[in-house]
Amino acid sequence: MDQGIGDLFQRETKESRHTIRSKGSRSTGKPETYKRYDNVPKVELPKPLTDGGLSLWESFRRRRTVRRYEEQPVSLAELSQLLWATQGITAVKGDYAFRCTPSAGALYPVETYLAANRVDGLRSGIYHYGVGVHQLAEIKPGPCGRMMVEAAMGQTKLERAAVVFIWSAVVPRVKREYHQRAYRYIYLDAGHIAQNLALAAVSLGLGTCPIGAFFDDEMNGLLGLDGTDETVIYMTTVGRPAPRD
Ligand SMILES: Cc1cc2nc3c(=O)[nH]c(=O)nc-3n(C[C@H](O)[C@H](O)[C@H](O)COP(=O)(O)O)c2cc1C
């Protein structure tokens, strides 16, 4: 089997009793756990529900990747519910604001952006989710569906979906604590987030498709990210399932 950077990554990010000892003391102070975009328009999100929806077991049973969507938009209330399910704050203890999904060391390196194509009450454009304030910041107004398709290697579902969740990693947030192993944790965190989104969408009668295939720097460029300190790692399309997906 060919050997390459992936094998090197897995090897070089292993922990052993030796590596743990050589790292010394833990870093002090806690970094910010979510970004803030000042001086851009904000959209308040409706308060999310904390009961109702399909049973968890039924959501597991029904979840299937959905790649074809109806034209119908999703509502702001549905979007709010989905955002809350992925990264909403559920408990505050001391300096820590814990969320619906776990994160290594409660450092929360994953940021959420949205490419909104058809959301009631939201102009088309790119938004950032302010976790602590449950608010969207409009960072790039205007239709972005076509650019999203191109950056996602021609996958037209990125334009047909009502909204696309785009997850980036703010690498230094975890690297200061976990060094090279931070990269493993980033991807594990993102998996938890994406699965909560998939199940919450099923519970609302919506469909999702996880997207791992995209041109990294084109997607970073769309969000204005440098691709090193902050880089897009994963996405998910969301919409109303069309019959016969
Ligand atoms: C990490 C990851 C990346 C994926 N990337 C894509 C993608 O870029 N495009 C796509 O159409 N499906 C993508 N998928 C969806 C898979 O093809 C799908 O989950 C798989 O076929 C299993 O089907 P199911 O989700 O309905 O159970 C991805 C899934 C995962 C978990």
Write out pLDDT tens, residues 138-193: 999 999 999 999 999 999 999 999 999 999 999 999 999 999 999 999 999 999 99
Question: What would the pLDDT profile of 54-99 be if each residue is shown by its tens digit?
Answer: 999 999 999 999 999 999 999 999 999 999 999 999 999 999 999 9
Mean pLDDT of the chain: 95
- Give the number of other CB atoms < 10 A from CB of residue 137: 20
Kindly tell me if the per-residue pLDDT of 245 is higher than 90.
no
Q: Which residue range is the domain that position 81 belongs to?
A: 40-239
CA of 213 to the centre of ligand 1 (A): 9
Nearest CA to ligand 1 atom 20: 65
CATH code for the domain in which residue 91 is found: 3.40.109.10
Owner of token pair 């299937």: 64
Per the structure, how many domains does the chain have?
1
Nearest CA to ligand 1 atom 15: 210
Regarding the beta carbon of 92 and ligand 1, being less than 6 Å apart is answered no
Confidence of residue 209 (pLDDT cuts 50, 70, 90): very high
pTM, 2 dp: 0.96
CA distances (Å), origin 202, targets 60, 66, 74, 227:
8, 10, 13, 32
Beta strand 230-239 pairing with 135-141: unpaired
Distance 128 CA to ligand 1 centre (A): 24
In a domain, 32, yes or no: no
CA distance 136 to 86: 14
Question: Is 156 part of any domain?
Answer: yes
**Alpha helix locations (H) across 63-167?**
76-87, 145-151, 157-160
